Amino acid sequence: MSELRRSDNQQASTVFEGRPVRAIIDRSAFGHNINIARQLAPNSEVLVVIKADAYGHGLLEMAEAAGPKSMLAVATAEEAQRLIDGGIRNTIWVLEGPFSESCLALSVQHSIVWVLHSFWQFDLFKKHNLSDKVDICLKFDTGMHRLGFSVEAVGEALLALAQLPNLRLEACMSHFSGSDWPDSEAVSRQIQCFDTIIKTHSLNHVPQSLSNSGGVLFYDQAHRDWVRPGIMLYGGMPHENQRAQDCDLRPVMRFESAVMSLKHVRVGDSVGYGATWTAEKDSIIAIVAGGYGDGYPRYAPNGTPVVVAGQIASLAGRVSMDMLAIDVTGLDPINIGDSVELWGKYVSVDQVAALSGTISYDLLTGVTARVPKIYT
């Protein structure tokens, strides 16, 4: 948890202008984190990953914040189409490649790099018969066993590529299954496997990409020509028990709300559905606008830290769809309208995720559509 100063997070009690739940998105923090990735991998180009609505932060807004010279990566052709329709001119990598022949029309409109992982995708290009050159990246399965051509199939994939002269091989990539921590034997094996593929098939002249956020942070030997950080750009860490500030990463999203009700609860009384929290003494409970219908995890346990009016409080009882309760007993007086940080500057999203048995990726992408995003 970051150092807390009451004056930084306190606002005067106020009459609500609307439901106070909102996600404050700090574009300067996003730019700072991109620069940290560049500093960590100074000999690599940075591919800015903005898939899944930029990890819940807003696809178009984060594409613009990345700057006109950054190459961008999304998962799907639909995400690429949204960027194109939104006026984004950066080169876009589509990490899952094309799903149908109709996807390939994007290459006529825009600079696209299609990541190919399966033979059926070559068939799409055969059917479409594009007249212009199309950029592609070949993905190799070096141990993740999710997407990518197996070691045994690489030769056949290169043969299929050679039969399609309109395809231009821009890069070769793989994806790590265990780079969340340093010194992973699994990562070492995958790097060795990838390098063997490159050497065996004389692909040394082709740019390479291996590193996700964990690769950028912990595996210098995997940086290669392109790194493609994701969660670290948003101020989260590959593993929920790590601290982003240890790597000088800044939170991009501040998920906040306000106190909407105050309750005096007697010793022995319970709060919320299922009576999962019972007062051990006479207590004051603040009800906060915001619940799992907004993206705060229902499975966050009692005691999860929440910041209210610059003070640390704790979750009390089961999170509801639209509200949650926090124990403010013993704090300086709390008032209706006092500001609440669910995660962001003082309580990290990684911390909330760890306590909730999940990861920050899940929480950030789970902020729902009814939560307004405000960009600073």
Provide the b/e sequence for 80-114 (b: ≥16 CB within 10 Å): bbbbbeeebebbbbbbbbbeeeebbebbeebebbb
> Would residue 375 show up in a list of annotated catalytic residues for this protein?
no
Torsion angle of the four alpha carbons 299, 304, 305, 308, in this order, in degrees rounded to the nearest 10: 60
Q: Which two tokens mark 61? A: 């807004």
> Would residue 281 show up in a list of annotated catalytic residues for this protein?
no
Q: How far is residue 332's CA from residue 216's CA, in Å, rounded to a whole number?
A: 43
Cα 13 to Cα 21, 171, 260, 336: the distances in Å are 15, 55, 10, 6
End-to-end CA distance of the chain: 23
The residue count of the chain comes to: 376
Q: Please identify which of the residues 133, 199, 273, 299 carries the catalytic annotation.
A: 273
Q: How far is residue 198's CA from residue 282's CA, in Å, rounded to a whole number?
A: 67
- Provide the residue type at 340 as one letter: V
Neighbouring residues of 281: CB distance < 8 A, sequence distance ≥ 6: 267, 329
Q: Which residue in the block uniquely carries the two structure tokens 């089961």?
A: 318
Q: CA angle at residue 8 from 7 to 11, to 5 degrees?
A: 70
Determine how many CB atoms are found less than 10 A away from the CB of residue 250: 17
Q: Are 290 and 257 in contact (CB under 8 A)?
A: yes
DSSP conformation class of 244: G
Determine how many CB atoms are found less than 10 A away from the CB of residue 15: 6
**Among 287, 297, 299, 298, which residue's Cα sits nearest to residue 257?**
287
Q: How far is residue 350's CA from residue 364's CA, in Å, rounded to a whole number?
A: 10
User: Distance between alpha carbon 41 and the CA centroid of its chain, in Å?
Assistant: 19
Neighbouring residues of 77: CB distance < 8 A, sequence distance ≥ 6: 94, 98, 99, 103, 106
**Residues in a beta bridge with 47:** 71
Active site residues: 51, 273
